[in-house]
């Protein structure tokens, strides 16, 4: 069939500074807000009429996995991180062509600046975007579709904050991020094999310029501390 070459039309400016803790599917963290910043040729007229749609499909590149190749069998987190399935029966990042597809909410449009404000995003900061397509409810939402080994959304955990973490968040002047951070951690971003096991480890995740330390015990997440970091 030959080789194909594609040029990114823009990139994502996201609160997720690293892959760890990015939701495993779009829409799971509705409070996650990000921007798609388009290159100059794809602004203005190219966006005419897009504001009429509530949601968009984004075609993107798994740019952090370009050198890691692909595997015919992968271990989806929903199967516990140990059981294997075929790569084409998964949404694994390790694909023959490192291309992904994600549906996001369109919250605002600045056509001249070429900036789309998006909600419910599951993409790491800097993700290259290859294409945008409008989401069509009558064609894209199929009520009788089967979800295989992932028939429903994953369980979410309760999240609590230590007084020290709340004070650190206030000192950083980012109290408005409390709900977002809680929503992300409620998805339990730990490796899949850790779930359901005793785990005394404290984890750290970088979100919106903050390094968030947390721990999971008895199916509950506790935010331990908040520190700033420089990207």
> Span 95-100, mean pLDDT?
91
More confident residue, 150 or 105: 105
- Letter string b/e over residues 129-148, b meaning 16 or more CB atoms within 10 A of that residue's CB: beebeebeeeeeeeeeeeee
Contact criterion met (CB below 8 Å) for 185 and 157: yes
- pLDDT for position 77: 80
Q: How far is CA 216 from the centre of its chain?
A: 20
Helices (H), the chain: 137-140, 163-171, 178-186
- pLDDT for position 57: 98
Q: How far is CA 57 from the centre of its chain?
A: 14
Alpha-carbon span 226 to 213, nearest angstrom: 6
Q: Is 148 left (phi over 0), alpha (psi -120 to 50) or beta?
A: left
Residue with tokens 């993409």: 123
- pLDDT for position 2: 74
Specify the pTM: 0.90
- Letter string b/e over residues 9-40, b meaning 16 or more CB atoms within 10 A of that residue's CB: bbbbbbbbbeeebbbebbbbbeebbbbbbbee
- Is pLDDT of 216 > 80? yes
> Span 170-195, mean pLDDT?
91
DSSP conformation letters of 74-96? E--GGGTTTS-EEGGGS--S--S
- Domains of the chain (ranges, CATH numbers): 10-140 (2.40.30.70), 158-228 (3.30.2310.20)
Confidence of residue 136 (pLDDT cuts 50, 70, 90): very high
In this structure, of 48-52, 75-79, 130-134, the range with the lowest mean pLDDT score is 75-79
Tens of pLDDT, residues 98-123: 999 999 999 999 999 999 999 999 99
Confidence of residue 178 (pLDDT cuts 50, 70, 90): very high
């Amino acid at each position: 069939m030959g080789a194909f070459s594609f040029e990114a039309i823009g990139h994502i400016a996201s609160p997720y500074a690293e892959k760890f803790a990015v939701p495993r599917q779009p829409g799971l963290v509705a409070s996650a807000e990000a921007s798609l910043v388009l290159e100059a040729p794809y602004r203005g007229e190219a966006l005419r009429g897009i504001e009429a749609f509530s949601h968009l499909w984004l075609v993107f590149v798994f740019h952090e996995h370009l050198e890691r190749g692909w595997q015919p069998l992968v271990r989806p987190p929903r199967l516990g991180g140990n059981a294997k399935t075929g790569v084409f029966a998964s949404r694994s990042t390790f694909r023959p062509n490192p291309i992904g597809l994600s549906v996001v909410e369109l919250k605002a449009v600045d056509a001249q600046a070429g900036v789309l404000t998006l909600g419910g995003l599951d993409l790491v900061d800097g993700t290259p975007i290859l294409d945008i397509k409008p989401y069509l409810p009558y064609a894209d939402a199929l009520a009788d579709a089967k979800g295989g080994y992932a028939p429903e959304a994953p369980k979410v955990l309760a999240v609590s904050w230590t007084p020290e973490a709340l004070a650190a968040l206030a000192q950083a002047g980012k109290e408005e991020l409390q709900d977002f951070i809680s929503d992300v951690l409620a998805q339990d971003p730990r490796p899949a094999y850790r779930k359901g096991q005793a785990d005394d480890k404290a984890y750290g995740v970088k979100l919106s310029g903050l390094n968030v330390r947390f721990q999971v015990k008895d199916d509950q997440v506790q935010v331990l501390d908040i520190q700033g970091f420089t990207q």
